[in-house]
């Protein structure tokens, strides 16, 4: 296994510090899963998105044995905005992309422990027969309805799973509204949660503000993104932080993430994205100058 600096720093620097420093005891971990399968991903452990069925079962057992109760996003937001201290340990379990292995591998384990999850659907890939997305079969609408009847929550993951930041305002509006309308039509009930596809451009304040307004106008009240950390009282309800989980998360790292010892990742993550945003702006400016015949050094 590749060396994981994030794991080393979490377990041997930040987790010990959590024992002596007062953290946010009201923060709520929102776990981010994708596929529950024994995939061999040829990328660094930090970037993997598959969790083996055995590892997922062990993680759910850990939550159950340590007194966690699963909550939906609306309840988590309500708890974070409440002045009352939490009466119990809450955790939100989420799945992006609507893969069919949720039905076969994740749901039976969740049901065993009395847990519930929220699954975010890219509706262009959900059909009456299984369609493929990223090389994997997705849920069918009949499976979505069955899962919904048994307590699984569903939210929007756009229609076609694009990088929204690269789209026009009109297309962004269509991706956000049409996915919500489709899920509500298929399930016969309102849905109010949204998951941002791909890496969230947290350093682009103008885009975030426009997206926030679009989501609220469309009727969403809660949402999640890929910013790492536990959701807290300062979190924007539409862009709640999450903790990525995959097969490489052993019990020690999983426990540390739940405790808040992985939240430190958010700062270097932000700085890296800020650097990309600044570089993107610089190159766009240079391209404009060159295309308009203005020397870049003037």
Name the pLDDT band for 297 (thresholds 50, 70, 90): very low
**Closest Cα to residue 255, out of 121, 126, 68?**
68
Q: For 105-138, what is each residue's pLDDT tens digit?
A: 999 999 999 999 999 999 999 999 999 999 999 9
Name the pLDDT band for 12 (thresholds 50, 70, 90): very high
More confident residue, 191 or 280: 191
**Closest Cα to residue 28, out of 249, 259, 221?**
259
- DSSP helix/strand/coil, 43: coil
- Phi, then psi, of 273 in degrees rounded to 5: -70, -35
The mean pLDDT of the chain is 91
- DSSP helix/strand/coil, 104: helix
Range name among 36-50, 213-227, 262-276 with the lowest pLDDT average: 262-276
Q: Which two tokens stand for residue 185?
A: 């039509």
Range 75-98 average pLDDT: 93
Question: Which residues have a Cβ under 8 Å from the Cβ of 36 and sit 6 or more positions away?
Answer: 50, 51, 52, 53, 56, 99, 101, 102, 105, 106
**Closest Cα to residue 158, out of 183, 188, 190, 128?**
183
pLDDT of residue 284: 54
**Closest Cα to residue 69, out of 15, 29, 22?**
29
β-bridge mates for residue 149, sequence order:
none
**Closest Cα to residue 275, out of 202, 219, 225?**
202
Q: For 30-59, what is each residue's pLDDT tens digit?
A: 999 999 999 989 898 989 999 999 999 999
Where do the domains of the chain lie, and which CATH numbers do they carry? 5-291 (3.20.20.370)
Length of the chain: 298
């Amino acid at each position: 296994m590749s060396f994981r600096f994030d794991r080393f720093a979490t377990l041997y620097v930040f987790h010990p510090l959590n024992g002596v420093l007062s953290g946010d005891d009201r923060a709520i971990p929102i776990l981010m899963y994708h596929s529950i399968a024994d995939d061999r991903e040829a990328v660094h452990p930090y970037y993997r998105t598959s969790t083996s069925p055995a590892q997922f079962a062990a993680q759910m057992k850990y939550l159950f044995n340590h007194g966690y109760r699963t909550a939906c996003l609306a309840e988590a937001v309500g708890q974070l905005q409440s002045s009352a201290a939490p009466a119990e340990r809450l955790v939100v379990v989420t799945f992006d992309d609507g893969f069919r292995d949720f039905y076969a591998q994740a749901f039976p384990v969740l049901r065993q422990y009395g847990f519930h999850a929220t699954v975010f659907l890219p509706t262009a890939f959900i059909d009456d027969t299984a369609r493929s997305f990223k090389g994997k079969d997705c849920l069918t609408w009949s499976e979505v309805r069955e899962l919904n009847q048994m307590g699984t929550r569903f939210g929007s993951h756009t229609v076609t799973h694009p990088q929204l930041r690269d789209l026009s305002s009109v297309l962004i509006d269509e991706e956000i509204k049409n996915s919500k309308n489709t899920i509500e039509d298929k399930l016969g009930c309102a849905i109010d949660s949204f998951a941002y596809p791909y890496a969230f451009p947290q350093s682009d304040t103008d885009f975030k503000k426009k997206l926030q307004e679009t989501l609220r106008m469309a009727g969403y009240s809660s949402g999640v993104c890929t910013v790492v950390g536990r959701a807290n009282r300062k979190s924007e309800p539409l862009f709640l932080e999450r903790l990525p989980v995959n097969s490489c998360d052993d019990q020690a790292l999983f426990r540390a993430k739940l405790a808040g010892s992985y939240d430190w990742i958010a700062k270097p993550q932000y700085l890296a994205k800020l650097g990309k945003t600044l570089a993107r702006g610089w190159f766009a400016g240079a391209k404009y100058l060159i295309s308009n015949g203005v020397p870049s050094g003037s």
